[in-house]
Amino acid sequence: MKPVNHYKVLLATALLLLSATAAMAEQRTLKIGTDGLYPPFSVVDNAGKVTGLDIDIGDAICAKLKAKCEWTAQDFEGLIPAVQNGRYDMVIASHSVTAERKKVVDMVKYYNNTASFVIRKDSDGSDLSPAKFTGKVIGAQTGTVHASYLEKNFSGSTLKFYPSQIEAYADLSAGRIDAVMGDTPTLYTWVQGEGKDCCKVSDAKISDPSVGDGAGIVIKKGNEPLRSEVQKAVDLMWSNGEFDAIWAKYFPFRIGNDK
């Protein structure tokens, strides 16, 4: 009988442990979808890398889950179906949390939000009622709660829907439409930059339940423990000030996360 080669046994054991560790690390890669045309939350830079507030939030969540984020930017309208069919583990694209969406996916709220119009500087932004915009042309991004809200309430207006918010802004700045509806923070960013000479955010805000209760991270229905892990990570980021620090990189005003 040959003597046991302890060195070979130890080496084989070490290789097995390394393989198992590598496999575990690979399993913690999280595929995340986002918009990529929604500054400052998500934009694709000249090198093809996705950057922005939503990406910073997602990377911080992945760090807490000891996972690697794998980001993909695509059209907003297809993001929720992509979570449902398993292409992504989650989507971080400032989706408004609504009762309708929660019927088909799980959502982890990560910040409060409001909706507004961005309008020409010489327009009155104190009244966002349908009557005020009768005969006007209003734009919004396809697949958003804003598009649905306009379709439901603004039958007296001409509505134009765009693949991205950026395209809607272009038509507004060129005078082809009269207003764009969207989330207040992203509208604010545009009027501080490219839209500063032409446009302003309306004084009035829209708080209708149909536009949602804040923004949520989208996860496939019933995907546990991922939903619970993400919820814990978001709660921690709010309690330790990390979310506020990330937000402050992009906006001069604070936003909350009342649950």
| Assigned domain for 204 exists | yes
Report the alpha-carbon angle 255-236-93, nearest 5.
Answer: 55
| pTM recorded for the entire structure | 0.84
Is there a contact between 256 and 111 (Cβ–Cβ < 8 Å)? Answer: yes
φ, ψ (nearest 5 deg) of residue 37: -130, 40
Q: Give pLDDT < 50 ranges for the chain.
A: 1-2, 4, 9, 14, 20, 23, 25
pLDDT attached to residue 27: 54
| Assigned domain for 19 exists | no
Q: Is the peptide bond before 163 cis (omega within 30 degrees of 0)?
A: no
CA distance 214 to 196: 26
| Assigned domain for 253 exists | no
Express each pLDDT in 221-232 by its tens digit: 999 999 999 999
Report the alpha-carbon angle 25-51-217, nearest 5.
Answer: 65
- Token pair recorded at residue 164: 């991205």
Is there a contact between 113 and 215 (Cβ–Cβ < 8 Å)? Answer: yes
Is the domain of 222 the same as that of 201?
Answer: no
Q: How many domains does the chain have?
A: 2
Is the domain of 103 the same as that of 220?
Answer: yes
Is the domain of 51 the same as that of 86?
Answer: yes
Is the domain of 108 the same as that of 219?
Answer: yes
| Assigned domain for 10 exists | no
pLDDT attached to residue 5: 58
Is the domain of 126 the same as that of 183?
Answer: yes
CATH number at residue 218: 3.40.190.10
Is the domain of 232 the same as that of 105?
Answer: yes
Q: Which domain holds residue 99?
A: 27-112+213-248
Is there a contact between 194 and 173 (Cβ–Cβ < 8 Å)? Answer: yes
Is the domain of 205 the same as that of 223?
Answer: no
Is the domain of 152 the same as that of 223?
Answer: no
Is the domain of 161 the same as that of 171?
Answer: yes
Query: What residues have CB less than 8 Å from 219, skipping those under 6 apart?
Result: 83, 89, 90, 105, 106, 107, 108, 226, 227, 230
Is the domain of 193 the same as that of 229?
Answer: no
Is the domain of 123 the same as that of 91?
Answer: no
φ, ψ (nearest 5 deg) of residue 56: -60, -40
pLDDT attached to residue 255: 80
Burial (Cβ within 10 Å: 0-12, 13-18, ≥19) of residue 215: buried
| Assigned domain for 22 exists | no
Q: Would you tell me the crossing angle of helices 53-64 and 226-239 to the nearest 10 degrees?
A: 110
Is the domain of 231 the same as that of 205?
Answer: no
| Assigned domain for 7 exists | no
| Assigned domain for 11 exists | no
